[in-house]
Structure 1
Amino acid sequence: MTATAPADVRLLADDVETDLRASVRKAIDKHAPAERVNGLYDGTDDVTAPLWSAFVELGLPGLLVPEDLGGAGATAVEAAAVLEELGRAAAPSSYLTSSVVATTVLVALGDETVLPGLAAGELTAAVAVRPTALRHGPAATTIVGAPADVLLVPEGDALYAVRGATATVVPSLDMTRPLADVDLDGAERVLLSSDASAAIDRGLMVGAGLLAAEQVGVARWALEATVAYLKERRQFGRVVGGYQALKHRLADLYAQVEQADAAARYAAATIAADDPDAPLAVAVAASFCGETAVHATEEAVQLHGGLGMTWEHPAHLHLKRAKSDELLLGSPEAHRAVLAALVDLPGPRV
């Protein structure tokens, strides 16, 4: 990675990003409080549809869509802000799978059929690849982000838009980001491109880079919630947060979260600027932020004591999101292998 960011890579938040983040947080606080998100594990979903409608009103599904196709023509930096707020709340949304990954693939292909519907929030889409894929492969029978209105199904180098597929949601660790078994028999198929490999790779790379922002949101919630709790919890006549050993653990966690934030922000900024460093920055962010989110949420559960183990406390929602995110678009180990190849380091010994 370059020692200093190029002039066209923006690392500091501007007023647009700040205002966007505030609007997204307000919508999430209104439509996706923790007690309603918990209902997903009991088979009740009164969160996803209202939250998506609020996102549509804010124009979020079209952030990465060019203006001439009905979108906002924004950048990965703004999309990363949305995902960080979603991570803070562990809120259910198809934003990553539809408005980032699928949208990026379609933009790269110059699509004008499906993309306008995605930009308007009238449709959602998902790319049918293995959940842990770093590169495209044969269409999977299980997809992430379903049910979706349109499935983008790779077959070799070709890409098809499939409508009318039968999707059956299956139990998963993180029910805020559902998995579904998909039956394509009898579904309508339209060829989008006979050579979509580069576009799919681009979509998965951007998805992995912006997923790091969501992981930062998860980790930051865990850090802030734990600090707030330890400032109030008393044991043996004193505030628990005053114990030196806990101070050291929180200081180490704070440093790790800040490092993850820097890595994720740089990845988003390089993607936005179409900088040659983008694949390298994404590999760094994806390999580091996933482990940070898991560590932070595990610390939150442990340092909340018995409270952190209860169903009512949102710590379990964030831990599940952190664990599923860690594997969603490639494990940290897989991204480190990509990073090693990018910088010409030897691969792992077999």
Structure 2
Amino acid sequence: MRRRHPEIDPQSLSETDEQRQLRAVLRDFFTEASSPEDVRKHLGTPRGYDEPVWARLAGEIGVHGLAVPEEYGGAGFTFAELAVALEESGRALYCAPLLPTVALAAHALLYSGDHTACECYLPRIADGTLTATVAGFDAPEPASPASPDGPDEPGVTAEQVGSGWVLRGQADFVLDGAGADLILVRARTPAGPRLFACEPTQDTSRRTPRRVLDETRRQALVEFRGAPATALGTAEGTEETVAATLDAGRAALAAEQVGGSGHALDATVEFAAQRHQFGRPIGSFQAVKHRLADVLVALEAARTASAYATACAAARAMSSPSAVASSQLPVAACAAAVVCSETFRLATAEYVQLHGGIGFTWEHPAHLYVRRARGGEVLFGTTDRHRTRLAELIGLTTGNDPTAGTGSTAGIGPTAGTGPTAGIGSTAGTGSSAGTGSTAGIGPTAGTGSTAGTGSTAGTGPTAGTGPTAGIGSTAGTGSTAGTGSTAGIGSTAGIGPTAGIGPTTGIGPTTGSAA
């Protein structure tokens, strides 16, 4: 039975003094080294970021090794300290591959439990001399009875050659795929999926940069042509490692998005206080206040969701796979992905809109944050996918035949608060069962004997009383009797099926034959 309240120490959701000091240092660092002008300047370089600044970030502050254990050359802190760094990097729109290297690849190595690989790669990640990424982690499964044609993309396969492995196939939209020194690849083998470490070369790997919306986060198509690779961990633990890595990535991205949202709100509030119109600051107008207040409320919710996901990721890294935090991380990561993505999108939209004409120009940095927000929305799956996964994780019934409960949601069928409400084309009769209180808008209420299949019938025609009752008035078509209480001419009209402003509408709601 799932516990009602998560077993997370409340203190882990609050920022410590050390984390506040780290935040202050990083904000000063990024203000100096990653201004909008710096970001634009480095977008045209081969690597897309300032490599000396990357080295300083690793050497002077030690960001790369914050969540790496001391035995592998790191600082031995937790994911919580790394989240502070990611939030500040997102606030400054830092364009180096911090997310794929430190959040994804480093945690994939740790979760794999392969001490040899960790000793080989993590010290170089911690000191900033090695950039890394992951590929094929979101690859579809091979052919199954439900999908006999298999995945749409060929994916990556691994072949055993002698005592080693070689990779063949391709992975698309790989973060920093064109420049990463190390790629951790989920590849298919005859025995099932397996995780591999590959250091690509020009002879065995072809890497093609992709043109993407967010130029500050580069992606590439990586084609493996017999690239030598080393197997990581065990075959049995591959899928768990991949899933945990993606959840850690979602938590890391959520922290970035909180930082970006915070910058967008602060910059917009500052502009609203300075910009005058009609003899007063535009921030003094109630309409502007309300919009900024909406962003602030959304941002606070995003901070909470991100803090919870961060706490779960930190607990997951320090615990065994069977610990409580392992079951909480997927839920927390999905929730944070939804809330923080939508908040970042709202904050950047207001960033542009409330700056007026200047917000739409290429010279203003607002569009860079809009691009980052839109790109991040689909980085580890869309919000719809996260909601679907979240519903499955917490035990909600989904699919095409949902039954109505309190708050149950449906894939294709009706969605409900306290009872399923009729959407577009949703029918009550193909699996969606309504108890008492199934409502279709403000139209017919299910009383005793009202069935909605090919038409809402109550005997030969609806009568006011035992059949479905109309909202303000339903008019008689052919065969329906206006008994006691059913009045015509107040606003609803009848053709084949009654169309009404307040009652049921034909084509969208339930339709009838010759009687309504």
Which TM-score applies when normalising by structure 2?
A: 0.64
The match for 2:121 is: 114
1:284 to 335, 339, 342: 335
Structure 2 CA distance for partners of 1:314 and 1:269, relative to 1, 3 Å:
same
How many residues get paired?
348
Letter in 2 for 1:56: A
Aligned 8 A contact 1:48 1:93 in 2 = yes
2:26 to 24, 28, 43: 24
Deviation at 1:159, TM superposition (A): 1.4
Moved more, 302-311 or 116-125: 116-125
Aligned 8 A contact 2:30 2:92 in 1 = yes
- What does 1:233-248 correspond to in 2, within 5 Å? 233-248=275-290
Deviation at 1:193, TM superposition (A): 3.4
Aligned 8 A contact 2:49 2:96 in 1 = no
- What does 1:293-332 correspond to in 2, within 5 Å? 293-332=344-383
The match for 2:182 is: 150
1:73 aligns with 2:109: no
Aligned 8 A contact 1:209 1:285 in 2 = yes
Structure 2 CA distance for partners of 1:299 and 1:161, relative to 1, 3 Å:
same
1:94 aligns with 2:97: yes
1:59 aligns with 2:95: no
Structure 2 CA distance for partners of 1:215 and 1:2, relative to 1, 3 Å:
farther
Structure 2 CA distance for partners of 1:45 and 1:36, relative to 1, 3 Å:
farther
Aligned 8 A contact 1:136 1:154 in 2 = no
Aligned 8 A contact 1:134 1:330 in 2 = no
Moved more, 102-111 or 19-28: 19-28
**Pairwise CA RMSD of aligned residues?**
2.1
Aligned equivalents of 1:158 and 1:150: distance in 2? Answer: 16
Moved more, 151-160 or 297-306: 151-160
Deviation at 1:3, TM superposition (A): 4.3
Give the SS at the match of 2:13: coil
Cα shift readout 1:187-223 (whole Å, capped 9, x = no counterpart): 3322223422211111111110121111111111111
Aligned equivalents of 1:233 and 1:252: distance in 2? Answer: 20
Aligned equivalents of 1:4 and 1:162: distance in 2? Answer: 38
Give the SS at the match of 1:161: strand
Letter in 1 for 2:411: R
Moved more, 40-49 or 313-322: 40-49
- What does 1:1-350 correspond to in 2, within 5 Å? 3=5, 6-7=8-9, 10-42=12-44, 47-57=49-59, 58-110=61-113, 111=117, 112-129=119-136, 133=138, 138-139=155-156, 140-146=171-177, 147-156=179-188, 157-163=193-199, 164=201, 165-195=205-235, 196-274=238-316, 275=325, 276-347=327-398, 348-350=410-412
Deviation at 1:5, TM superposition (A): 6.0
Moved more, 222-231 or 89-98: 89-98
Letter in 1 for 2:198: V
Hey, which bits of structure 1, 4+ residues long, moved more than 4 A? 1-5, 40-46, 134-137
Larger helix share, 1 or 2: 1
Aligned 8 A contact 1:144 1:179 in 2 = yes
Q: Which ranges of structure 1 fall in alignment gaps of 5 or more residues? A: none
Moved more, 33-42 or 254-263: 33-42
Moved more, 21-30 or 305-314: 21-30
Deviation at 1:31, TM superposition (A): 1.7
Identity %: 38
Deviation at 1:108, TM superposition (A): 1.2
Give the SS at the match of 1:141: strand
Bigger relative contact order, structure 1 or 2, given CA contacts below 8 A and separation 6+? Answer: 1
Moved more, 1-10 or 265-274: 1-10
Which TM-score applies when normalising by structure 1?
A: 0.93
Cα shift readout 1:301-349 (whole Å, capped 9, x = no counterpart): 0100111111221111111111111111111111111110111112242
Q: Which ranges of structure 2 fall in alignment gaps of 5 or more residues? A: 143-154, 157-170, 317-324, 399-409, 413-516
Aligned 8 A contact 2:8 2:311 in 1 = no
Moved more, 331-340 or 43-52: 43-52
Letter in 2 for 1:51: V
